[in-house]
Amino acid sequence: MATDSSTPQTLLILGASGDLAARLLLPGLGVLLASGVGGGLALVGSARESWDDDRWRKRVADSFAAAGAAGPEVDAVAGTSRYVRADASDEEDLRRLLGAVEQPLIVYFALPPRVTMAACRALAGVGLPSRTRLVLEKPFGTDSGSAAALNDLLTRLVPEDQVFRVDHYLGMSTVLNIVGLRFANRILEPVLDGRHVETVDIVFDETLGLEGRAGYYDTAGALVDMIQSHSLQVLALLAMEAPSTLEARDLRDAIAQVLRATRIWQDDPISFSRRARYSAGEIDGRRLPAYVDEEGVDPGRGTETLAEVVLAVDTWRWAGVPFRLRAGKAVSALRKEAVITFKQPPWVPTGLTGYQRPDRLRIGFDPDWLRLDVNVNGPGDPSVIDPITLDATLGSGDVPPYGQVLARVLDGDPTLSVRGDTAVECWRIVEPVLAAWRNDEVPLESYPAGSTGPDAGRPLL
């Protein structure tokens, strides 16, 4: 049920006083408004805190300003925004809240998964106007069973195409650019398969540590926070078959199909997963305490800040190619990229010497770039192989990922959101690893903040 984004709508944020709203959601909205999308939007914030309109408007204005968003539409939304105190898991509060807002309505759950589930249960008792759209943050549920139960609950509230499971990586233009890179030319796609590719690495290393997010992160950890969501979406775009269109149904079918074929390498989560946690260290001259000494962390939980898994994609195209996914916090350098490493050529003509490293296609996310490391025999001595790099910088788009995701929500277009079956599938893929870790079958390693990670950054396999 698409609605033109210029139709006046109400965006109701539950969990409005939280970190997510301030750091990502409101800045994304601000830039979107400044770009001319979302005119006439009514913004309502709600949380359990006893804030008033003024305090909330300041939060909105500060977040818009931090993103550099300015203009009449930005000021209008910030200046007319309202705050309604409510406990999102309480039916009475929700009934009152829904009675206080205009329709059509978009409800954004900027809440931890358990509270989101409780809020959905309460909403089922209250009932929602039929055109309402629901926007949910990751992690969607806490395992495949709870994700499936949440899907069932949501379909009792609104139809699936009015449910938006947000993964802001799907809003990154470079991530979507993977589709064009693979399917808008005849050069790359023919060699992206198990005959030519040795390995695929998807790496998201950050220099940031916990950043005061223990309340959420300490119960999630790197595997759930990054790999179960963002990295698997990137894997899906890299490994899927060509969709016929970029419409929601085609793109999401292609993503679902490849994720259904994805599992832990050799079904062995003990050998093909790794977990580690940062100890005290220094990054860019900044001292970072050990993760366990960060405020709000329970060391007994054994939460990992770096996770690595090796996955297999059981399709004709990808059989035998390991996909290594790694995500780590507080490592030495920011590195967000997919690296496709090619096999050696079947034969290099005798007389050409000096093969040193494989050909690689590297796709950098945020900043966005593309590099092709390729072996040739120039410049210099024509009998010696010289690797060269073809380099391109891609635009990252004017609107940040959260803005792009929100633009689709305002338009009623679910293309960039995760479909219900896919959300369950992503849990199914990582669950054997979570179980092995729970049973302590994989040691929790340690790495100093600011280092390249455990085992000097050497990948598994």
Q: Which residues bind ligand BG6 (CB under 6 A)?
A: 206, 225, 336, 366
The enclosing H or E element of 262 equals strand 262-264
Closer of 141 and 358 to ligand BG6 (Cβ): 141
Helix (H) or strand (E) holding 61: helix 53-66
Active site residue 230: yes
Residue 94 main-chain phi, psi, to 5 deg = -65, -40
Nearer to ligand BG6, 78 or 176 (CB): 176
Nearer to ligand BG6, 212 or 443 (CB): 212
Tokens of 238: 């890299």
Long-range contacts of 76-79 (CB under 8 A, 24+ apart): 77/29, 77/33, 77/38, 77/41, 77/42, 77/43, 78/43
| Neighbouring C-alpha atoms within 13 Å toward the C-beta of 29 | 34
Q: How far is the CB of 359 from ligand BG6 (least distance, A)?
A: 27
CB of 443 to ligand BG6, least distance (A): 23
Instruction: Determine which one of 57, 138, 230, 274 is catalytic.
Output: 230
Dist. CA 254–CA 88, nearest whole Å: 35
375 vs 422 by CB, closer to ligand BG6: 422
8-state DSSP, 168: G
Q: Nearest Cα to 362, choosing from 400, 324, 386, 389?
A: 389
Q: Give 98 or 222: the residue with its C-beta nearer to ligand BG6.
A: 222
Q: How far is the CB of 217 from ligand BG6 (least distance, A)?
A: 7
- DSSP string spanning 356-369? -S--EEEEETTTTE
CB of 142 to ligand BG6, least distance (A): 15
Lookup: tokens for 122: 């309460």
Smallest gap from Cβ 206 to ligand BG6, in A, equals: 5
Residue number with the shortest CB distance to ligand BG6? 225
Question: What are the residue numbers of the active site?
Answer: 230
